[in-house]
Amino acid sequence: MSAAETAARLQPPGLRALIAVVGHGLIEREEQARCLVLALLSGEHLLLVGPPGTAKSELARRLHRLAGGAYFERLLTRFSVPEELFGPLSLVALDEGRYEREVRGYLPTASVAFLDEVFKANSAILNALLGLLNERVFDQGAQRLAVPLVTLVAASNEPPDDPGLAAFHDRFLFRCPVPPVSDQAFGQLLVAGASADGLPIGADASTRATPSPLDLSALQALRERAAAVALPPAVVALLLALRERLRAAAVPVSDRRWVRIVAVLRVAALANGRDAVAAADLCVLPWLVCERAEEHEPLREWLAASLGAGAEVDPQWLWRAAQAFERQLELESSATELAFDDSGKLALMRSVGGAEGSELGEGAPRLSAFSRRKRYGAGHIAARLAQIDQLLGEVERFTSTALAHERLLGEQLAANLWVAPAFAQQVLAVLRANCERVLACQAALRDTRAAFAALPVTEGDDGRVPEPVRLDD
């Protein structure tokens, strides 16, 4: 396929079709299909982690059929030798005093490769793979050869526990779990069955057709254009918040990985037809920062909470603000002051003791008997109402646009190539819950405002204005 034809297929409708091709006929493998296609577009390597029989090798072969070029596949064991991956030694070169390999048809000449049970390989193979994966070079005797490798897909039944494999594990920017089919889809799996290529038995031959391979030079051009995609400050703030969260959870993410993550986010945005990374593009982060499958769902929940919070009002902050006003109201409504009559004496002295204050002895009433609810100046009450009104104004702006914001966010998530429908629903559910919390805060603030307005007022305003109620940041 020409570069022009590939460029047309790299538009959102074409990419959506490519994702469908990768996942066609495979039960509950839509997420893995998205991950594979994005890894190919980004030129990054991918690790599939899951038990045997979950279509990991089939997914890798389908990716090769999309990418074209030379393909290499090998199952590794602890007994595997470098010759199985990099080719046998060249006897001709040895006769001439050179230590070289016959690499044709082996990993150094592949555009897409699949290595199964990659962590079972010995140190000699893993060390040789490090340079090939990270720098796309292969040491051929005394010279270093550039290799055409675009994406290497590796598979393992479980992530490595050996600290000595951490550096090699980090070379895979994408790490995608491949779980067994869920109980909900188990019946569908049994009814459909599967042929050798993973498609339903008896499927029409036209459904098995694979589109023409993409032009790899067009993929490289896409990555070069992605470098100009903007990274807005709001997205940087979310990434910083995630970095702090991961650090607190002792999840290691190197600076090199963060830089590569941003490059993937730019590719993801460009593939969606945008010139700036959007917050919704961060839905790919679980593939990029999580080391284990159990880390994905907590991160998705955090992302859903972040995306569903809304830009105008933070419900958690608003709730704390409403509580701060309620506490201030309780203080001011329960405050007391001494009551004096027109002559300046305590107003209740005569009615309680029946004598002048100088004649009162031990039977004199307590000072609290001459207290009353504290009265406030008009300026004091007006200041309290103004601060609440300002907050209510922000809430009004949020609620007036909440439905439109929900509709727009839903459309953005549905149009995003990398967002799973279940995650989109999760985000919208958070947004709806936040809207309900905002409405509850709005009602509480209105009640508090009415209570402030009903505070006892002094006959004359002393002009004093209270300090604003302190709201937690």
Q: How confident is the model at residue 349 (pLDDT cuts 50, 70, 90)?
A: very low
User: Where is the domain boundary, 199, 222, 245?
Assistant: 222
Please report, for the domain that includes residue 56, its CATH number: 3.40.50.300
Containing domain of residue 399, as a range? 312-335+374-473
Q: To the nearest whole number, what is the mean pLDDT of the chain? A: 85
Tell me if 208 is assigned to some domain.
no
**pLDDT for position 325:** 93
326/353 same-domain check: no
320/467 same-domain check: yes
Which two three-digit tokens encode residue 106? 């082996």
> What per-residue string of b and e applies to 188-216 under the rule 16 or more CB within 10 Å gives b?
eeeebeeeeebbbeeeeeeeeeeeebbbb
175/30 same-domain check: yes
348/362 same-domain check: yes
**pLDDT for position 202:** 40
113/142 same-domain check: yes
> What per-residue string of b and e applies to 419-435 under the rule 16 or more CB within 10 Å gives b?
beeebbebbbebbeebb
Which two three-digit tokens encode residue 200? 């339903």
Given a cut of 60, whether residue 169 has pLDDT beyond it is: yes
Residue 74: which residues within 8 A CB-CB, separation 6 or more?
A: 80, 84, 85, 107, 114, 115, 116
Residue 219: which residues within 8 A CB-CB, separation 6 or more?
A: 6, 10, 40, 41, 43, 67, 150
**pLDDT for position 374:** 86
What residues are paired with 71 via a beta bridge?
A: 112
Q: What is the reported pTM?
A: 0.79
**What span, in angstroms and rounded, lies between the C-alpha atoms of 8 and 20?**
17
18/113 same-domain check: yes
Task: Give the distance, in angstroms, between the CA of residue 273 and the centroid of all CA atoms in the same chain.
Answer: 20
Give the CB-side neighbour count of residue 188, counting CA atoms within 13 A: 10
> What per-residue string of b and e applies to 296-320 under the rule 16 or more CB within 10 Å gives b?
beebbebbbbbbbbbeebebeebee
24/152 same-domain check: yes
Tell me if 196 is assigned to some domain.
no
39/131 same-domain check: yes
Task: Give the distance, in angstroms, between the CA of residue 46 and the centroid of all CA atoms in the same chain.
Answer: 19
**What span, in angstroms and rounded, lies between the C-alpha atoms of 316 and 328?**
19
**pLDDT for position 357:** 44
Given a cut of 60, whether residue 195 has pLDDT beyond it is: no
Residue with tokens 């769902």: 297
Instruction: Give the closest residue to 121 by CA, choosing from 75, 173, 162, 56.
Output: 75
Tell me if 91 is assigned to some domain.
yes
Question: What are the residue ranges of helices labelled H in 335-420?
Answer: 349-353, 378-415
Tell me if 73 is assigned to some domain.
yes
Instruction: Give the closest residue to 61 by CA, choosing from 188, 287, 267, 213.
Output: 213
Tell me if 428 is assigned to some domain.
yes
381/233 same-domain check: no
Whether 211 contacts 22, CB under 8 Å: no
Angle (CA) 75 77 83, round 5°: 75
Tell me if 195 is assigned to some domain.
no
Q: How confident is the model at residue 252 (pLDDT cuts 50, 70, 90)?
A: confident
Q: How many domains does the chain have?
A: 4
Say how many residues make up the chain.
473
DSSP 424-460: HHHHHHHHHHHHHHHHHHHHHHHHHHHHHHTS-B-SS
Q: How confident is the model at residue 104 (pLDDT cuts 50, 70, 90)?
A: very high
21/163 same-domain check: yes
Tell me if 451 is assigned to some domain.
yes
Region of poorest pLDDT, from 23-37, 84-98, 309-323, 368-382: 309-323
**The amino acid at 298:** P
Pairing mode, strands 71-75 and 46-49: unpaired
Q: How confident is the model at residue 310 (pLDDT cuts 50, 70, 90)?
A: low
Q: How far is CA 351 from CA 106, 364, 370, in A?
A: 107, 12, 11
**pLDDT for position 355:** 43
365/379 same-domain check: no
Q: How confident is the model at residue 161 (pLDDT cuts 50, 70, 90)?
A: confident
pLDDT tens across 198-249, in order? 444 344 444 455 678 888 888 999 999 999 999 999 999 999 999 999 999 8
| Better-scored residue on pLDDT, 118 or 197 | 118
Average pLDDT over residues 101-125: 94
Tell me if 433 is assigned to some domain.
yes
pLDDT tens across 404-447, in order? 778 888 888 999 999 999 999 998 888 888 888 888 889 999 99
449/405 same-domain check: yes
**pLDDT for position 360:** 45
Whether 44 contacts 151, CB under 8 Å: yes
Q: How confident is the model at residue 115 (pLDDT cuts 50, 70, 90)?
A: very high
Average pLDDT over residues 77-94: 92
**What span, in angstroms and rounded, lies between the C-alpha atoms of 363 and 92?**
120
Whether 178 contacts 49, CB under 8 Å: yes
**pLDDT for position 215:** 85
